[in-house]
Amino acid sequence: MKDVLRDMIAKRKAGIRCGIPSYCTANRLAIEAILEQAKRFDDYILIEATANQVNQTGGYTGMKPADFTKFVYEIADKVGFPKEQIVLGGDHLGPLTWADLAEEEAMANSIELVKQFVLAGFKKIHLDTSMKLASDPSDGRLSDQVIAKRGVILYQACEEALQELRKKNPDEVRPVFIIGSEVPIPGGAQEEEDSIAVTRPEAFERTVKVYEEEFARQGIQDAFENIIGVVVQPGVEFGDADVFRYDHAEARELCGALKNHEGIVFEGHSTDYQTPDSLKQMVEDGIAILKVGPALTYGLREGLFALSLIEKELIPEEKRANFIDIMEDVMMEEPGNWKKHYHGTDEEKRQARKYSFSDRCRYYMTHEKVESAIGKLFRNLDAVKIPMNMLHQYMPQQYSKVLAGGLKKKASALAKDCVVTFVEDYNYATKHNYMISNVFAR
């Protein structure tokens, strides 16, 4: 198996300003779209799962780490993408879902969590021990020393799991590690923000220093040969309707600190909805791992909404799937995944449920009623001929690709291409000589 992430670090050391997108999604159609696009270019793909999506009790997806590996590999087999060209990552691995427990129990669960991820073949591990536990003092922030101490414990657990794997395969590739957590919790911020504070260089330096000291205390000499990235806040984020665009000048001091740490890059979370040029600038500045999540299912939702409007034109009312209405009904019946995130008047919350950049719709895509509506929508439109003029009206980017012969006028293909639109932005940002095909700049 090619060691893609260490190769990326080696290329950057040689002066090649490359990067890698990190696709954080458990949506089947989105993953199909990502892998189908990667197949066209013979790419390697990094797909991540967060600790609240996937853990030893199933997470909100109902999948344990080994289940997620199987899930992704089954999709790869379906689309004919080589499994050995997939890198799996675990995000925010630590006591995130057990923060209401005391340290002993929360960390025991966290140790089991990271071990299961490593044993399931995940090769990129983000160690996140930044959250307070029930036994921690309630006043003040959690100290960097405590964060590092817990992180090192989890690093050691990962090493133990690797040695278990190597009993069967002595050539098993060692995972790479990401530390730091200057980002909102997985799923996005729960409150609207007016501004974003860029991580201070001294905060980044302190994170590295305290980890180095803790590794030394534990007699671990080579950890930073395996730690390739630190999560920072480079000044990017999004709200329901706004995007904080990357500002090279604002991040200059932070990114300049990387010159003191050869072999380390920054990992940027919440890079969704940035322009292709902003993403490319981030990679050039050293933010070489670009995490994207909600934008993928937001793109899919856009495609499904557009197809629903086409269905309204072409299919008799009594036969329609009515995906837009079904999604709204299900979200209203089961508001748990959006009510803490959407605020304002009833009308503002109604609009957010449909159009918010945080895309809480993604939590409902596997609901039985929603999946049924998607399937019916696809069948309805595949049974008729979508006029090209109507396709241009509702899906102009996909119209251009269909006209050029690069995209089939099949409902599922049209929907998935709305995910590809975002994927192309990340390919442009991280790969040399890659041209985006977007007809509209974002």
pLDDT computed for residue 438 by the predictor:
46
pLDDT computed for residue 182 by the predictor:
74
SS3 217: helix
Give the whole-number percent of the chain exceeding pLDDT 70. Answer: 95
Q: Which helix (H) or strand (E) holds 47?
A: strand 45-50
Q: What is the per-residue pLDDT across 193-216, written as a single tens digit (0 to 9) for each?
A: 566 899 999 999 999 999 999 999
Q: What is the per-residue pLDDT across 99-131, written as a single tens digit (0 to 9) for each?
A: 999 999 999 999 999 999 999 999 999 999 999
pLDDT computed for residue 140 by the predictor:
87
pLDDT computed for residue 433 by the predictor:
60
3-class SS string, 359-424: CHHHHHCCCHHHHHHHHHHHHHHHCCCCCHHHHHHHCHHHHHHHHHCCCCCCHHHHHHHHHHHHHH
Contact (CB, 8 A) for 82 and 39: no
- Residues 381 and 74: their CA atoms lie apart, in Å, by 26
Contact (CB, 8 A) for 129 and 99: no
Phi, psi angles (nearest 5°) of residue 20:
-150, 135
> Residue 101 has what DSSP assignment?
S
Burial (CB count within 10 angstroms: exposed 0-12, middle 13-18, buried 19+), residue 307:
buried
**Residue (of 274, 7, 269, 272) closest to 128 by Cα position:** 269
Query: pLDDT below 70 — which residues of the chain?
Result: 183-195, 433-442
pLDDT computed for residue 193 by the predictor:
54
**Residue (of 90, 37, 9, 80) closest to 425 by Cα position:** 37
* Beta strands 237-238; 243-244: pairing state: antiparallel
